[in-house]
Structure 1
Amino acid sequence: MTTIAATADVADNAVLGEECKVWHLAQVRADVRMGDNCIVGRGAYIGTGVTMGDNCKVQNYALVYEPATLADGVFIGPAVVLTNDTYPRAISPDGSLKSAHDWTPVGVTIEEGASIGARAVCVAPVTIGRWATVAAGAVVTRDVPAFALVAGVPARRIRWVGKAGVPLVQDADAWVCPETGTRYIEENNVLREALS
């Protein structure tokens, strides 16, 4: 059963999957499509037309601006911001107030299993690859490869991580997850799971 707090603001035409939870003061705008078992924390904002896969978590006060796309199993930490305006301005060059029709929103795409740490900012348009991790406070200004751990301002890859989120350990010509034992191969700065 889907649970929506009495103080949450969920648009009538937003589509929420089974077993979703939308908490106190969260706002889910029009045309949002949310998969099953998603959680939207206190005060979080999900913009018009955002799509979320199954088993996503958007923590307290995160801002997910349209047209962001979150695949299955994405984690958005507290106070994360996914931007949508490449060249933000309140006014036009002539000094007139800009309207919603004076710019074209661009989105952040987050692939399966990726995690964005607390207070990180992803500056659209960027893609965060499968199972990647963005460290808390990072500012992402370019695409993040699958399984990368990025940190800093601007964010840069500092390690590789596996599906468990734990940094991988190098073992001869492979990288190994110390938690699951899964082996990964790096070729041309791209990491992939080793064939069994």
Structure 2
Amino acid sequence: MDHTDAPGLVLSPTARVGDGVVFGANVVVHDDVIIGDGVRIQDGAVLGKPPTLSPRSSLRSADGPGPLVIGAGAAICTHAVVFAGSQLGPGVIVGDLAVVREHATVGADTVVGRGATVDPRSTVGARVRLQAHVYLTAFSTVEDDVFVGPGAVTTNDDTMARLPEGRALQGATLRRACRVGGGAVLTPGVEVGEEAFVAAGAVVTADVPARAVVMGVPARVVRRVPDAELLERGPWT
């Protein structure tokens, strides 16, 4: 159904809706949201939600979050929340109950899985797969073609709320085509190199070299990713 007959739709008069957009029931679209052509928005989704931040939060912005922009052909699934000030590229899928926070950028054809969270000031590239319940912390960078398994967690504050004044939070950096297994934990500021492989349940406390396979607590290099598994040796499903 389009926005003329979607039951319970709350659509701001300042929102811009492209051609062929389909709304489910009880969708809320806040001010200044820009929705590209052919976007599908399922039941109960909230688009352009303004952030509510502590007065002491390092994520506050003096000029506000700005508009939410959703690229053509994207899909926002049931009860997902996408905040004001974020940008979703064409073909992005935001799964059921997932959250994309303000000032986050998600590249074309990326999947944000069910219940996953992309925190503020994070940048996610194209064709990335963030599986169910992944937590991508603020100030993280994920390059193109990365896979992050279900329940993996990144962190950005090794003091746990005792950060000295003037010291910045440090998210994770996941380089092109690396793979992070389910339930892995990445400590603040670590980098996982291009085409590296982090085993399920690993705790990564140091940078992972390109094409290294790491596992364990703490994670250690055990071998090298073979040529046959490299991204360019696909196609892969």
Question: Which ranges in structure 2 are unaligned for 5 or more consecutive residues?
Answer: 1-72
DSSP 3-state at the match of 1:150: strand
**Structure 1 counterpart of 2:191, one-letter code:** T
Aligned residue for 2:185?
A: 121
Aligned residue for 1:51?
A: 123
Deviation at 1:6, TM superposition (A): 3.2
Do 1:84 and 1:123's aligned partners in 2 also have CA atoms closer than 8 Å? yes
Deviation at 1:165, TM superposition (A): 3.6
Structure 1 residue 15 and structure 2 residue 87: aligned?
A: yes
- Relative to 1, partners in 2 of residues 1:41 and 1:133: Cα closer, same or farther, differing over 3 Å? same
Task: Return the structure number with greater strand share.
Answer: 1
Aligned residue for 1:73?
A: 145
Post-superposition Cα deviations, 1:124-175, rounded to whole Å, max 9, x if no partner, equal 1111000000000000000000000000000000110046547xxxxxxxxx
Task: Output aligned runs, 1:73-92, within 5 Å.
Answer: 73-89=145-161
Question: Which ranges in structure 1 are unaligned for 5 or more consecutive residues?
Answer: 93-97, 167-179, 181-196
Post-superposition Cα deviations, 1:90-125, rounded to whole Å, max 9, x if no partner, equal xx6xxxxx9xx8973111101000010000001011
**Structure 2 counterpart of 1:144, one-letter code:** V
The list of structure 1 runs, each at least 4 consecutive aligned residues, that deviate by more than 4 angstroms after superposition, is: none
C-alpha distance in 1, partners of 2:149/2:156? 18
Aligned residue for 2:68?
A: none
Which of 122, 129, 135 is 2:199 aligned to?
135
C-alpha distance in 1, partners of 2:166/2:96? 33
Greater relative CO, 1 or 2 (CA 8 Å, sep 6+): 1
* Count of aligned residue pairs for this structure pair: 159
DSSP 3-state at the match of 1:36: coil
**Structure 1 counterpart of 2:117, one-letter code:** Y
Aligned residue for 2:171?
A: 107
Deviation at 1:22, TM superposition (A): 0.4
Do 1:147 and 1:163's aligned partners in 2 also have CA atoms closer than 8 Å? no
Identity of aligned residues (%): 37
Which of 12, 15, 35 is 2:107 aligned to?
35
C-alpha distance in 1, partners of 2:94/2:228? 26
DSSP 3-state at the match of 2:221: strand
How much is the aligned-residue C-alpha RMSD, in angstroms? 2.0
C-alpha distance in 2, partners of 1:12/1:129? 31
Do 1:131 and 1:162's aligned partners in 2 also have CA atoms closer than 8 Å? no
Q: TM-score, normalised by structure 2?
A: 0.63
